[in-house]
Structure 1
């Protein structure tokens, strides 16, 4: 069946017009809460408002939308929820709702039936659940919460129409919070540093972090893309490893706006090839994301694709976006980090750093590693 794109566009325009009118009415009904420069007509759907500090007035959330699945579609009129109302929701009930949805297979079921109605057998096959018993355990909970309906006994399951928008809004909010899971892993690494460093807390060796960073340079060298690396010890106790490799990728990951370098520096995963750097006695490999987590601050600089990029971190958490700072014909990565003094009691030893640089150069004759003590 052919689609009527003109009708769909008209529906979208109508929805936007209604939402714009709602915003305009709110601005007119709440004088003084919007910036004098705000002009709904000029800014379209982007409204810049400066709320005055008045007790009990925290603002509002405006939303609308439409969805077209394979079997049906929805369009929702513009709505508003006051922030004070949202913050005053019953915490126990909200927790129960989120708990009911906080299961991967239940979310998979809801997302599947949102696209089209499906029978139990079709859900088992589509979601690779293996048995219908496993499916119906979750189906029962979703039916009880009125998040699913069944056409008839043994029939197909679908999502009630009035539940579609809340589910999509919940998924939209979750997409903006996905990076928090990475940050929780970073915090866990900080609280469990011994699993990576393989020693008692009073004996944590900061040179292990340096070796983990240099390990990435060595991998670039083995791939034929890196011939030299420079190690700089700075006066504030931080250290820089700069190489002439390809540079960590900066393109956003598919389906996200997260730069590749940010994923590398915040997602704590063990390499599938078994090439992670392991400290003597360590249970887990030290990746560059672990170095980031165990550092008070870290700055990464990347040279690739004719540009220079930079991003700053604190305790593993990004403090800036990926910033373009200039152009260059060179390629490579530089990582500057300061081991967190709350975790590491010892400092870098210039003598040991010089020895490590010589050892690495001797082990890899095609990789020139030089050490510079800028603290002197």
Structure 2
């Protein structure tokens, strides 16, 4: 077969010209947008040059998504700050409340991926019956967040897709705020975890921290626990277990260790140390919330990791700080004197350690001050 090189060259030239025109058009729009005083690229310089009395600016957004074999693109849109801050609070609260139901969010996320019938939704989400699903479908359809296509399948209306995806993106960015709220609730209701009396026992937090390496020992991974008391009222619990997992959680950039140390609801009362008479067990996240400061050092996978907290709030990401030849976890914390003003007692630590070693013959516990 003889190739028509001249024709191929003409075609290639035409494609290059189209590409150049597209790039030039994109650059023109980009320069026009970036030249605005309130564009993202000039935010810093605009902030420096802003004069008293200047307007609050605007929020610009656009998007592109590919779902179910279709491509969606939204042109840049603008919402003035005055408009955003003047949104009807009652209506906003109703919208957020309507979407706060977990099953409704499950429905919306499922139909975004592919249109589904009611029966398929019941099976996929494990709702039990279509009757349980019906009132959610009715509410979401009435709110124009669902449409029913031919064949009885429910789909997400394309005109609502970008706002919903932006909402999910915002929720992802603000996800840690729920942990902060839980921690403040824990501090305001410490008696739920420490018992009904107001004179809380500081040792209960220590027993809860020791519970973790004891469980590691029961699983066959920890043989030694060290307890070290410090002059400033803090204490360190170290072990030679596997080390708290450090990999990020699925679909998240949050390390598993941070989730364990901040998610108050991660463990139920049966999986955490429980004070007699208390409503809920004390997990390491509860200890973190009730501590003025806490530092965790993790030896795992040949590296040492560290993260510091103040009142349960991370002060840094999970940092790699060295090389480790062994594995294990060290937790140093100082109970918040607002709740627990008394210090640790050497005699009680010795007594508790002896009881644990008697209950777990293969476990060695060292107490030092």
What TM-score, normalized by structure 1, do the two folds share?
Answer: 0.81
Deviation digits for residues 234-290 of structure 1 (CA, Å, limit 9, x no counterpart): 121111111222211111111111111111111224757944322222332221111
Structure 2, unaligned runs of 5 or more? 1-19
Deviation digits for residues 104-147 of structure 1 (CA, Å, limit 9, x no counterpart): 22222322332333344443444333444433322332233222
Superposition deviation, residue 101 in structure 1 = 1.8
Q: 1:15 to 1:312 in 2, by over 3 A?
A: farther
2:331 to 335, 338, 349: 335
User: Does the residue aligned with 1:344 lie in a helix, a strand or coil?
Assistant: coil
1:29 to 23, 36, 39: 36
The question of whether the paired residues in 1 share the 8 Å contact of 2:229 and 2:236 is answered with yes
1:115 to 113, 116, 122: 113
Superposition deviation, residue 58 in structure 1 = 4.2
Provide the residue aligned with 2:214 in structure 1: 218
User: Does the residue aligned with 2:132 lie in a helix, a strand or coil?
Assistant: helix
- 1:20-169 residue pairs with structure 2 within 5 A? 22-30=29-37, 51-52=47-48, 53-54=50-51, 55-70=53-68, 72-151=70-149, 155-169=152-166
120-129 vs 290-299, greater mean Cα deviation: 120-129
Superposition deviation, residue 62 in structure 1 = 3.5
Q: 1:18 to 1:178 in 2, by over 3 A?
A: farther
Provide the residue aligned with 2:285 in structure 1: 289
Q: 1:293 to 1:162 in 2, by over 3 A?
A: same
Superposition deviation, residue 169 in structure 1 = 0.9
Deviation digits for residues 70-107 of structure 1 (CA, Å, limit 9, x no counterpart): 26331122333344432232222222222222222222
Superposition deviation, residue 56 in structure 1 = 4.9
The question of whether the paired residues in 2 share the 8 Å contact of 1:240 and 1:337 is answered with yes
Return the alpha-carbon distance in structure 2 between the equivalents of residues 359 and 128 of structure 1: 45
Structure 1, unaligned runs of 5 or more? 1-12, 40-46
Return the alpha-carbon distance in structure 2 between the equivalents of residues 371 and 26 of structure 1: 64
304-313 vs 223-232, greater mean Cα deviation: 223-232
259-268 vs 125-134, greater mean Cα deviation: 125-134
Provide the residue aligned with 1:370 in structure 2: 366
1:205 to 185, 201, 204: 201
Deviation digits for residues 1-33 of structure 1 (CA, Å, limit 9, x no counterpart): xxxxxxxxxxxx999987765553243232xx7
Q: 1:128 to 1:362 in 2, by over 3 A?
A: closer
Return the alpha-carbon distance in structure 2 between the equivalents of residues 319 and 160 of structure 1: 41
Superposition deviation, residue 200 in structure 1 = 0.6
2:173 to 161, 176, 179: 176
Return the alpha-carbon distance in structure 1 between the equivalents of residues 84 and 218 of structure 2: 55
Aligned residues: 348
What is the RMSD computed on CA atoms of the aligned residues?
3.1
- 1:252-267 residue pairs with structure 2 within 5 A? 252-267=248-263
What TM-score, normalized by structure 2, do the two folds share?
Answer: 0.82
Superposition deviation, residue 57 in structure 1 = 4.0
Superposition deviation, residue 69 in structure 1 = 2.4
1:193 to 185, 190, 194: 190
User: Does the residue aligned with 1:188 lie in a helix, a strand or coil?
Assistant: helix
Return the alpha-carbon distance in structure 2 between the equivalents of residues 317 and 157 of structure 1: 41
Q: 1:109 to 1:327 in 2, by over 3 A?
A: same
Return the alpha-carbon distance in structure 2 between the equivalents of residues 136 and 16 of structure 1: 49
The question of whether the paired residues in 2 share the 8 Å contact of 1:15 and 1:77 is answered with no
Return the alpha-carbon distance in structure 1 between the equivalents of residues 212 and 88 of structure 2: 49
- 1:229-248 residue pairs with structure 2 within 5 A? 229-248=225-244
Return the alpha-carbon distance in structure 1 between the equivalents of residues 93 and 325 of structure 2: 53
